[in-house]
């Protein structure tokens, strides 16, 4: 596939300095770009790569335009990284448009009472159960399962192996055994949501599990039953959110972070990777809960010291009390 630079400018704007008929055959990093590639520079720290790149065209800011090698075209944008993102979207749209003859793969199983928008794409071996709905322009890639009565909004991407609407983990302890609590809710996914490979979103126990508009979930993310995730929140790989937690809008959770059940995170909360959230966070900000890495011997000493902090606190209080008494 190839796209003319002029076509990019017509679709995305920007200021082109070069031949509008130049054909871009690949989008590449600066260091591996070829003369038929389009690359970008957004971070000034990589300015040295701009001087040596072989890219036929580079997306740059106005401040970097003078550093573009002679003979290379450039697209000048106030935000090169955003422009690059939009180029990748346009590139994907052109690829999809070239393959419009199989919007629902023959191996997919779609229940007669499911509703799939005519512009949605359903990949190989997908399962769309009774009452499920897939919105306009959404793309369910291979082996995606959309459970009964669950809804995917418009413009969403669900990568391979995603399961939406499996039963939540609900069991009642009775006389040393577990009695299943049927999960009677569903899952509602908003518009422009992207869910990474092999992630799971459980259906609600009574009410629905809700994923807001613009949410981005990485691979292997687990969302428990009754969870609510606010608009434009992003979670990196292996995040786990336990049942009935409420995550606000515009939050980020680093890889491997855990949020315990029934907690609330305010809008604009940012959790560092591998942190365990054990209490609700009602104010926006950055939060970390990870003991810093160290060599094992030092880590064990510090861990042993932490275990003694409570006792040390009591001893200090006793010393302060004795000192105050002696000064009277």
Active-site residue list:
225
| Contact residues for 201 (Cβ-Cβ < 8 A; gap 6+) | 162, 163, 164, 165, 187, 189, 195, 209, 211, 223
Distance, CA of 7 to CA of 254 (rounded, Å): 37
3-class DSSP state for residue 93? Answer: helix
Burial class (CB within 10 angstroms; exposed 0-12, middle 13-18, buried 19+) of 17:
middle
Measuring CA to CA, which residue among 168, 162, 173, 161 is closest to residue 185?
A: 168
Q: Per this entry, what is the length of the chain?
A: 328
Distance, CA of 296 to CA of 42 (rounded, Å): 39
């Amino acid at each position: 596939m190839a796209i003319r630079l002029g076509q990019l400018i017509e679709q995305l704007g920007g200021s082109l300095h070069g031949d509008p008929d130049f054909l871009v055959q690949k989008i590449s990093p600066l260091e591996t770009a070829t003369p038929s590639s389009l690359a970008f520079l957004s971070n000034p720290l990589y300015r040295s790569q701009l001087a040596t790149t072989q890219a036929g065209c580079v997306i740059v800011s106005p401040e970097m335009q003078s550093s573009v090698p002679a003979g290379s075209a450039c697209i000048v944008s106030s935000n090169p990284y955003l422009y690059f993102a939009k180029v990748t979207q346009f590139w994907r749209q052109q690829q999809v448009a070239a393959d419009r003859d199989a919007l629902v793969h023959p191996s997919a199983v779609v229940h007669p009472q499911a509703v799939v928008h005519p512009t949605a794409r359903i990949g190989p071996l997908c399962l769309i159960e009774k009452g499920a709905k897939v919105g306009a322009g959404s793309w369910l890639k291979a082996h995606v399962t959309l459970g009964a009565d669950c809804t995917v909004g418009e413009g969403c991407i669900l990568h391979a192996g995603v399961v939406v609407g499996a039963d939540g983990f609900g069991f009642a302890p009775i006389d040393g055994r577990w009695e299943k609590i049927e999960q009677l809710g569903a899952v509602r996914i908003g518009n422009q949501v992207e869910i990474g490979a092999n992630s799971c979103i459980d259906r609600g126990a009574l009410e629905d599990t809700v994923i807001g508009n613009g949410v981005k979930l990485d691979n292997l993310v687990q969302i428990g039953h009754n969870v609510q995730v606010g608009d434009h929140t992003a979670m990196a790989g292996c995040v786990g959110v336990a049942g009935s937690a409420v995550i606000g809008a515009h939050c980020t959770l680093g890889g491997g972070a855990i949020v315990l059940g029934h907690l609330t995170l305010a809008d604009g909360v940012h959790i560092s990777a591998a942190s365990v959230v054990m209490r609700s966070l009602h104010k926006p900000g950055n939060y970390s809960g990870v003991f810093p890495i160290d060599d094992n011997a030092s880590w064990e000493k510090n861990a042993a010291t932490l275990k003694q902090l409570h006792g040390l606190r009591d001893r200090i209080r006793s010393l302060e009390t004795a000192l105050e008494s002696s000064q009277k």
